[in-house]
Amino acid sequence: MKTLTPLSLIIAISFSLVSFNKYEDKKTKENKNLNDTYKTVNNNESDANSEISNDFFKRYSDLKKYKSDVMSLYKTRSLGTIWFDEGEISEFGSVLYEKAKKTNDLIIPYQKEIDQLFSSSSDKSTLSQTDADMLLSSLYVVYTKKSNADKKRIAYDAMLKDFLNYSTLEETSTVADADVKVEYDQYYKLQDVLKKYKRLEKSSKWKPIVPAEVPYKELRPDAVSSTIAQVRTRLYLYGDLKSDSKSDVYDRELMDAVMKYKVRNGFKPNYILAEEHINEMNIPLENKVATLKLNMERCRAIAAQIAASDEYVLVNVPSYEMVYVKNGKVQLTSPVFVGAPLTKTTIFNGEIDRIVFSPYWTVPQSIVQNELKSKIAADPNYLAEKNMEIVNGQVRQKPGPDNSLGLVKFMFPNSEDIYMHDTPSKTLFDFEKRTFSHGCINLKMAKELAVAMLQDYPEWTPAKIDKAMAGKTENSFKLTKKVPIYITYFTSLVNENGEIGFFQDVYEKDAELTNTETSVTVN
């Protein structure tokens, strides 16, 4: 019996080794086949990229000397993906363009073509996305060579990773552009807040709010809770309270501070402290610092245009707000609602060239197919009940108080067919998150904006505007002086009172750029 056990073990081990060797031979063959497949795919992809690059540098021959540097940026990327986001030039592309233009003695090859990429006029570029992306990559290489002229060897791909990171970009640009004035004063307002938040971050005074009750229960005036004392301290640190009494009673003093906090951050103005408000207060300071830096760079990207405008309209998507500025002063602010996540409002600049009173609404074909077609088929009277008609094969809604565009619209030609207009759905402005439209901007105070913008046109008295808005036929007025409009995406802004507001990243643009969490959930 003693000799049988070792013998059986030897046989078992030998059998296992033979089986394992056969398995390894099989895996080796499989891996070889996989490697051959990968090599074939990579070679095909490499051939395709080579064909694209050869064609590009043949057509843009002045850039041939930068070919190896440019193509090194695409080693781990597909062509056409560095400077674009959802088919539009990203903020990084805009920042690169602005930085290159501000660099002394920098000769930009094919500047006319690059300028057209950022033009809001009718001569908008018709370049393919691949050509546009490679032009911007070439600009990046030219800009980097100029900015790092004293360095013998430049690792473009490594430097690009730093460039495509807002925190690094902000830190380096602060030094490089210390003597370059940014004309848009919002930049410096954000900078002052950034200094305050950095000091607060270093002081260790900021601590997460830990709710007294789990699950969390809403807090209202006169409530008594240790959560109240923590909220009081937080609002004192943020500047909404002048002093911190440490009281755990939700008193009048705290009510005023909560209202101030809510208004500046775009929350519904009431005294309820809900879970979402505690979550926002618990966003780490390092995240808020990153948000401030990111939005300072956004200021740089549009600074030149705003500085040159004595009159403009600014619509900020995350804060759901429109601001009309004239002669450097805010004339009007209005709540807005914007495109839903599936039909996002495009971020771009344009020029308002006409105001249309009592407008028709020509229903987009996509809405006709997806929403109206079945309703019209089910109810023969549907069009008449909705004050609609079919003209030249298109469905349109007649002017009137129930028209989806309201009583007035503001037109600024653009390829996305986006415009700004009144709306009969006034109750939607009561919501905090206002992403309801198919992409257009819906104004709460549309009439007030029309009155403000037409002050330089004596014939357009308030009475005439009222009459035009109540008309049964469309009345279009062409402005003799076009008004710039900036549709922006600022997730932090300083208001006229010097108060900072942080807004929801409704289209997740910040999250994509920083790749960090922007909230802390109350457990």
Please tell me what DSSP assigns to residue 368. I
Among residues 277, 299, 421, 438, the one annotated as catalytic is: 421
Alpha carbon distance 475, 495 (integer Å): 35
Alpha carbon distance 382, 54 (integer Å): 57
Is 299 an active-site residue?
no
Taken as a whole, the chain contains a residue count of 523
Quick one: which of 332, 329, 349, 294 has its CA closest to 91?
A: 294
Using an 8 Å Cβ cutoff, are 347 and 510 in contact? no
Q: Identity (one letter) of the amino acid at 238?
A: Y
Tokens representing 368 are 């006709």
Using an 8 Å Cβ cutoff, are 145 and 120 in contact? no
Please tell me what DSSP assigns to residue 72. H
Tokens representing 95 are 């920042």
Alpha carbon distance 310, 412 (integer Å): 18
Tokens representing 483 are 């008004």
Beta-carbon count within 10 A of 476 CB: 13
CB burial of residue 323 (10 Å; 0-12, 13-18, 19+) = buried
Among residues 277, 299, 438, 440, the one annotated as catalytic is: 440
Is 421 an active-site residue?
yes
Using an 8 Å Cβ cutoff, are 280 and 235 in contact? no
CA separation (Å) from 335 to 80, 286, 440, 446?
37, 29, 14, 10
Q: Is 204 left (phi over 0), alpha (psi -120 to 50) or beta?
A: left
CA separation (Å) from 11 to 4, 230, 242?
11, 72, 84
Alpha carbon distance 371, 51 (integer Å): 44
Q: Is 355 left (phi over 0), alpha (psi -120 to 50) or beta?
A: beta
Pairing, β 408-411 against β 420-421: antiparallel
Alpha carbon distance 132, 280 (integer Å): 39
CA 234 to chain centre: 28
Alpha carbon distance 107, 235 (integer Å): 50
Please tell me what DSSP assigns to residue 427. G
Alpha carbon distance 186, 188 (integer Å): 5
Using an 8 Å Cβ cutoff, are 100 and 139 in contact? yes
Q: Give catalytic residues, as residue numbers.
A: 421, 440
